[in-house]
Amino acid sequence: PKPTQHIVGRNDVINSIVPILSDEEPGRVAILGAGGIGKTTVALAVLDDERVKAKFQDNRVFVNCDGVDTAGAILAEISSALQGHATGTQKELLATLDRLQGSKLLVLDNLESAWLTSEKRAVEGILGQLTSVSDLSLIITMRGAQRPVTITWSQPLLPQLQPLLVSDSKLMYLSISGGKDDESLDRLLEMLGGLPLAIELMANVGQNFSPSEMLAFYNKEKTSLLKLRREATRLESLEVSIEVSLKSPPIVDNPEALEMLGVLALLPKGYPIETLREVVPRLDDLNQAMRTLVQAALASRTGPSVLVVLAPIREYIRLKYP
């Protein structure tokens, strides 16, 4: 797939990944972050980087694992991405990859679909086996803040992707909408919290309306405004994207995490971690609930001490999980 034309605010991330892949040793990179934060966008931009194309040439393989929830299905998707060069067992697939001449780069996108299930160990086993393939560099993208532990990731570890700066948010919005900047745009972008998916979806609607009109629409319709069509996927609807995280096994298995999220949704500036008990006194295991939200990238820490939730997620939680 081709990278999006609206890549802004990610040059530093891309330029930290490319040297890892350019090294003589195979690179192992995990791109982590919240849903809609731009993990796939970064991975595609890296694949399309001239330095990466020069080294890996036609041996750049992108595998979409969205909705692929078993280890066996991941192997099948890799085989399909190799355009029929590999079939059969895991051993045969690894042997086919090993026979490819030159340096190879494999991207497993949205790997959390299988990793956050009972198939976790089997998925990690596949990752471990892939690292045995000669000259194979590996990139995975995963919703959340945890890397699989069965392989040694290249140093320095890539930090979790952060929301866009206001200046980059504005650049992205205007490049998609083709509109003009005005004072309403700053207020509108503040409500979107620097989340690229939210900005992209808002700007798509904003192609025909001014920022002040879009602000009025959003104040009335909230996150339901941010979708491309009625039956949208998680790449076309902010609400669908958020629900994917809320329905992930770690959140489903820990109802107290959702209860904590509901409280944090009422606190735009977040809340000090040390005194969280003051606002969620009923939780039996407060620390586990907090860790679950951070690991699912539904909440993050600003500095070492404050737990905060992105503005669009807060808006959705207040509406759907009051």
Question: What is the per-residue pLDDT across 216-242, written as a single tens digit (0 to 9) for each?
Answer: 999 999 999 999 988 899 989 999 999
Classify residue 153: in a domain, yes or no: no
Asked if residue 1 has pLDDT above 90, the reply is: no
Q: Please say if the pLDDT value at position 84 is more than 70.
A: no
State yes or no: pLDDT of 38 exceeds 70.
Answer: yes
**Token pair for 136:** 């194979």
Please write the tens of the pLDDT for every residue from 131-145.
999 999 999 999 999
Q: What is the mean pLDDT of the chain?
A: 93
What is the count of structural domains for the chain? Answer: 3
pTM for this one? Answer: 0.94
Regarding predicted confidence, which is higher, 83 or 151? 151
Each residue's pLDDT tens digit, 97-138:
888 889 999 999 999 999 999 999 999 999 999 999 999 999
Residue 189 · residue 310 · CB < 8 Å: no
First to last CA, the chain: 39
Query: Do the beta carbons of residue 135 and residue 104 sit within 8 Å?
Result: yes
Q: Is residue 242 part of a domain?
A: no
| Least confidently predicted of 13-17, 51-55, 98-102, 311-315 | 98-102
Most confident of 73-77, 149-153, 261-265: 261-265
Residue 224's pLDDT is what? 95
* Pair 190, 255 in one domain: no
pLDDT for 322: 84
Dmax of the chain from CA atoms?
A: 60
Give DSSP secondary structure letters for 183-238.
HHHHHHHHHHTT-HHHHHHHHHHGGGS-HHHHHHHHHHHGGGG-BSSTT--TTTBH
54 vs 102: CA distance, rounded Å: 11
pLDDT, position 85? 54
Report the CATH number that the domain containing residue 112 is assigned in CATH. Answer: 3.40.50.300
Q: What is the C-alpha R_g of the chain? A: 20
Looking at the structure, tell me whether residues 55 and 120 fall in a common domain. Answer: yes
Q: What integer pLDDT is reported at residue 79 of this predicted model?
A: 87
Taking the C-alpha atoms of residue 247 and residue 155, their distance in angstroms, rounded to an integer, is: 32
pLDDT for the residue numbered 83: 67
DSSP strand pairing (306-308 vs 271-272) = antiparallel
Last residue of a domain, one of 208, 237, 266: 237
For residue 93, the model assigns a pLDDT of 84
pLDDT value, residue 263: 96
Residue 271: CATH number of its domain: 1.10.10
Domain contains 148: no
Q: What distances in angstroms separate CA 203 from CA 171, 172, 185, one per listed residue? A: 11, 8, 11
Which domain, by its residues, includes 66?
A: 11-143
Which helix (H) or strand (E) segment holds residue 63: the answer is strand 60-64
Mapped onto helix, strand or coil, the DSSP state of residue 321 is coil
**pLDDT over 70 at 172, yes or no:** yes
The reported pLDDT for the residue numbered 88 is 65
Distance CA 141, CA 33 (A): 8
Alpha-carbon distance values, 39 to 210, 290, 304 (Å): 29, 23, 24
- Residues 15 and 139 placed together within one structural domain of the fold: yes
pLDDT for the residue numbered 87 = 57
3-state helix, strand, coil in the chain (%, to 5): 50, 10, 40
Q: How far is 48 from 45, CA to CA, in rounded Å?
A: 5
